[in-house]
Every structure is written in structure tokens, then in C-alpha cells.
Amino acid sequence: MNSPAPPEPYAVMMRRASVEGLPRHSLRDGFRIRGYRTGDEAVWLAVQRSAERFLPITDDLFRKEFGIDEGRLQKCMLFLEDPEGRPIGTATAWHLPDRDAPDCGRVHWIAIAEGAQGAGLGKALMSAVCERLRAQGFRKLVLGTHVTRIPAINLYLAFGFLPEIRHADDLAEWRKLLPHLKDPVHLPASAPGATA
């Protein structure tokens, strides 16, 4: 008898009010960042599968998230390669589907392959994807993540992203995260729409 799949970790949103003053981190010697090339769908899936510990990375996920417009992907999707030219990271300078936020770009599906995590490479990849969004004309930034990704959340906080509290569940999850965060985070006393 199969046991039910564990529930997905709680998703949170983080925002950066401006693209001005973004931290800049360079790659170590031999590493490079390149754009999307035809056939990189399989590369993206391989990097995500190596990095992902909590969510299923299915064969159709790439097309569900990004579609098939290769011209757009070439402008938006980045890959981090090690000195041997092996892809070990990816991030996408994406857009929000929300027409009310046309000036807000999205840091989307950033990942470092398992064997390369913890070496500071995420900082350089984060710098590159944020710069790509700024160059595309976005003035504000947003990203989504899960509460299980504490190292990633600490990276995003170091880049000036702050928690977006949409409702009481968000506030409760961020309060649980506070002891694990490297940087102090100010949380509101109550969630939007909460009654006293």
C-alpha cells in the first residue's frame, strides 16, 4: 500500500521595493553564466532535480512554467556553468502574470545543483538574474519560495528582499522562521485584514 505524498512546504512571497542598490557578487575564476540555448529544457530539468529536495520536478514542469517561446527564454533564462562547462545552476528573470504590477519582475526557479551548494555560487547567480531584470526595465522585484529553504531565504534577505505578509498564515510561518534567519526581519504585529 502506497503512503500518501507529504504535503508541499508552505509557500511565501518576498519583495524588493527597488532594483537600485542591488548587491553585486562576481563568479569565482573558471565559472561562467550563459543564456538559454535550444535544448536547455533537459539541462534545466537536470539542475532542478539535483537541487530540489521538497517538490517533484516532472518532465512537463519546464513547459508549464515557461512555455515554448525560445526567443523569450534566451532573454530571460540563465545557466551557471562550472570550470568544465557543466551546468550547475539556473535562474530566470521572469515576469508576473499580474497586469497590475507591470514594473515588477520575478526571480524565478533559482537553483544550484546539490554538489555545488554552499560554495557562494548562489550569490553570483542571484546578482546576475537581478541585474537581468533591472536591464529589462523592471523597477521592483518579487520571488516565491518555501519555508523549508532557509539558506535560500537568508540569501534573499541579504539581497534586500523582505517578507510579504498576505494573511495570518504567512505571518505565522515567518514568525517560525525568525530564529533561523541571519538578518533581522521586522514583522507586523498582525496580518492585513486581521481583526483585533
Domain ranges of the chain: 11-180
The beta strand positions in the chain, using DSSP E, are 11-16, 32-35, 77-81, 87-95, 104-112, 140-146, 162-164
Per residue of the chain (196 residues), what is the pLDDT tens digit?
A: 555 555 667 899 999 999 999 999 999 999 999 999 999 999 999 999 999 988 889 999 999 999 989 999 999 999 999 999 999 999 999 987 776 678 999 999 999 999 999 999 999 999 999 999 999 999 999 999 999 999 999 999 999 999 999 999 999 999 999 999 998 899 999 988 766 5
Class of domain 11-180 (CATH, top level): alpha beta
pTM (two decimals): 0.91
Number of alpha carbons in the 13 Å side-chain half-sphere of residue 183 = 16
Q: What is the pLDDT of residue 56?
A: 87
φ and ψ of 140, to 5 deg: -130, 160
